[in-house]
Amino acid sequence: MMGPGWYLRRLSRMGPAEVVGRARHAVVQRQWRTSLPTPPDWPSHPRFTAALPAGVLGKVSGEAVSRLLATADELMAGRAEFFGVVRSDFEAPDWFLDPKTGRSAPSAVYAFDVPYRSEDTVGDIKQIWEPSRHQHLTVLAAAYALTGTPAYATRVAEHLRSWWAANPPLQGPHWVSGIELGIRLLSWVWTRRLLDGWPGVTELFEENPDFQLQLWHHQNWLATLRSHGSSANNHVIAEDAGLLAAACAFGWFPESAGWRSAAMHSLDAQLARNTFASGLNAELASEYHGLVLELGLAAAVEADAAGTPVPESTWDVLLRMTDALASIVDNRLRPPRQGDADDGFGLIVDGTSTDRWASLLASGEVLFGRLNWWPPVPGDDVRTALLASLASRTPRISGARPGRRPAHLRDAGMTILRSDRLWVRCDGGPHGFLSIAAHAHADALSLEVRHDGVDILADPGTFCYHGEPQWRSYFRSTLGHNTLELGGRDQSVSGGPFLWTRHAETRVLDVHTPDTGPSRWSAAHDGYAPALHRRTVELDGDVLRIVDEVLGQGDPGGARLAFHFGPAVTVMLDGTTARLRWVAEPDPAAGGGSGSPHSRPGASAPQRTLEVVGRGRSAAGADDPLVGRVSGSLSATAGALRTAVMELPAGLSWTVHRGDTEPPLGWYSAGFGRKEPSTTLVGSGAPGPLTTLLRFS
């Protein structure tokens, strides 16, 4: 639980209007405790008119159907995975159980009394909330729609009836957070749509008083307690999207027209506020860009299909977000690993092995049209065909779109340097979004470097939100990123797990990104004021040059320069020379698949074996003696061996870290709730000019 100090710090980041708004919410929550709001009468003969157009299911590729059914059949067998924890109880799940800790959240407690931040009391709340987003039910419903097999629909009905019975309105942990209610509503809309034609569907939905009660209370909650102020980030998008979709598809209440209008207006305004002009999500957290885009597309096509006018400004934001995503992905369609990531999805109707980012780009291509600089996108997902069929009346956007692939998204401070197979992300943007910058990391001037999609210099990721403060702090820290730490402190000041009380100010000084030839980026930040950290990065063919300088008066303290390597990379350190090895991922064009193996929850990581730590010979062969410290692993799977040499600043003393725990150092989180050891090099010493060269063979 958060202490009094946290609440004071949180209050200090609110403006007067937000304080007043939160006070009003508190009054409503107190009223609901003793007087539950009463829904109006259910219409006598409600009709569901938001079915899919005829013939659309036949447009889904056989490969996409196969992936979907593989996931659906695992669910039917009772198996599911959430954040790296495998559950085998999913034939009849316990909606309050955290399988990671074995704890159960209280179910017979007024929702706003549930101490959901306390892992000691409720367990890991993400493990409890995620199954209740009911996105596994949209997968099962899609399996029914594509095969006509009634067992899938029957299982969906069992889970919905079980959940509705166990979670009466405003009771228990599933009524605490608006983002959960919004995404759950979106899932119910699509579950009903995909079960259309099943004999039991009207009894489950239109003729079911339990569904009536749940549907109205979900929408009334979202219409009354919408996020605002410093919390109006991806949460408010999910709330608006769920309310809008439900009010369009299930527009059977006297309030439905008002809910539709208010949600559409709010979604339009909040999408604009949450998005830079360049199209990147303002939270500067790549996975939340995907979440907001998914939610926005699903809500907009729902409104369009229902005849609710969608402002051109809404479509414009969604178009810009799609073009921005196309501009920043690497050659395997992976976006940056910037900021927080919690594996959150807006709408899932595909199998777990379907690439999220390829699916989003495929949807954007169908809805908006591709530009000639877009990377090739495989169009073999389920969701694209379904979304496109609902948006048949969507007007094409006539505004200007980038004529060449943007390399520098100025307002977001993100610059992508490219050279053949090399992809380099340079971070020179704002610390985060709104006054609390909830999902930001202290990563100013950090880099990501990939070679043909493989993480070489990696952003370590997120791992956790609640319950493990030491790990939360590490994965958000400056030392946890590929940048320079001064005086043993972060560039920005944290006030708690989702709160920053001081934000480093960053300014891009120089960008040169021609279509061919060397590229250059330079930026500085004031997080160590009065000292200034300036970094210059140059990419020339297969050579990356990084220069770090500390400018200004006074003693900034000792420096620590960190380089975090992806888990596939073996690092052999000899003095100030690091030799890197990894095995290339299979080429998608040669049948190796597309996108990242971590692109969907539950996807498996590449096989890495032959762990090597200490002195000795390389695992690659006895004829290649190694001198110095070896950290990492070489893959035993087939693939080309790749190498690089890193010349580190000689003025620093270098140490190797892998899987350290006291304190944490040398870790990589491929997805929320998962972490694995990886190699980190830390150079310590005086903050003089520091030059690093990375040469790829």
Give the span between the Cα atoms of 585 and 589, in whole angstroms: 12
Does 187 lie in the same domain as 253?
A: yes
Backbone angles phi, psi at 465, to 5 degrees: -115, -55
The set of long-range contacts for 46-49, using a CB threshold of 8 Å and a minimum separation of 24, is: 46/206, 46/250, 46/252, 47/206, 48/192, 48/193, 48/196, 48/202, 48/205, 48/206, 48/249, 48/250
Higher pLDDT, 621 or 401: 401
The set of long-range contacts for 72-77, using a CB threshold of 8 Å and a minimum separation of 24, is: 72/139, 72/140, 72/142, 72/143, 72/152, 72/351, 75/136, 75/139, 75/140, 75/155, 76/140, 76/151, 76/152, 76/155
In a domain, 610, yes or no: no
The answer to whether residue 428 scores a pLDDT higher than 80 is: yes
Section 128-143 average pLDDT:
98
Chain segment 15-27, per-residue pLDDT in tens:
877 777 778 888 9
Does 434 lie in the same domain as 331?
A: no
Does 383 lie in the same domain as 467?
A: no
Higher pLDDT, 536 or 604: 536
Give the span between the Cα atoms of 655 and 159, in whole angstroms: 52
In a domain, 384, yes or no: yes
Q: pLDDT at position 22, please?
A: 79
Q: Which residues of 281-316 are buried (b: 16+ CB within 10 A; e: fewer)?
A: bbbbbbbbbbbbbbbbbbbbbbbbbbebebbeebbb
In a domain, 126, yes or no: yes
Does 191 lie in the same domain as 224?
A: yes
Those residues whose C-beta lies under 8 Å from the C-beta of residue 85, and which sit 6 or more positions away, are 99, 100, 127, 673
The answer to whether residue 281 scores a pLDDT higher than 70 is: yes
The answer to whether residue 667 scores a pLDDT higher than 50 is: yes
Does 543 lie in the same domain as 448?
A: yes
Query: Residue 458 maps to which CATH number?
Result: 2.70.98.70
Section 108-113 average pLDDT:
96
In a domain, 596, yes or no: no
Q: pLDDT at position 593, please?
A: 41
Does 131 lie in the same domain as 91?
A: yes
Residues of the domain holding 203: 36-40+58-390
In a domain, 198, yes or no: yes
Q: How confident is the model at residue 632 (pLDDT cuts 50, 70, 90)?
A: confident
Does 122 lie in the same domain as 163?
A: yes
Query: Residue 203 maps to which CATH number?
Result: 1.50.10.100
Per the prediction, the chain carries an average pLDDT of 90
Does 329 lie in the same domain as 196?
A: yes
Least confident of 67-71, 89-93, 228-232, 465-469: 228-232
In a domain, 593, yes or no: no
Does 266 lie in the same domain as 215?
A: yes
Section 602-614 average pLDDT:
37
Does 27 lie in the same domain as 102?
A: no
Q: pLDDT at position 532, please?
A: 94
Q: pLDDT at position 689, please?
A: 93
Does 484 lie in the same domain as 533?
A: yes
Dihedral sign, CA of 104, 108, 114, 120?
Answer: negative
Q: pLDDT at position 617, please?
A: 29
Does 348 lie in the same domain as 431?
A: no
Report how many domains make up the chain. Answer: 3
In a domain, 316, yes or no: yes
Higher pLDDT, 679 or 603: 679
The answer to whether residue 602 scores a pLDDT higher than 50 is: no
In a domain, 257, yes or no: yes
Which of 375, 390, 405 is the last residue in one of the domains?
A: 390
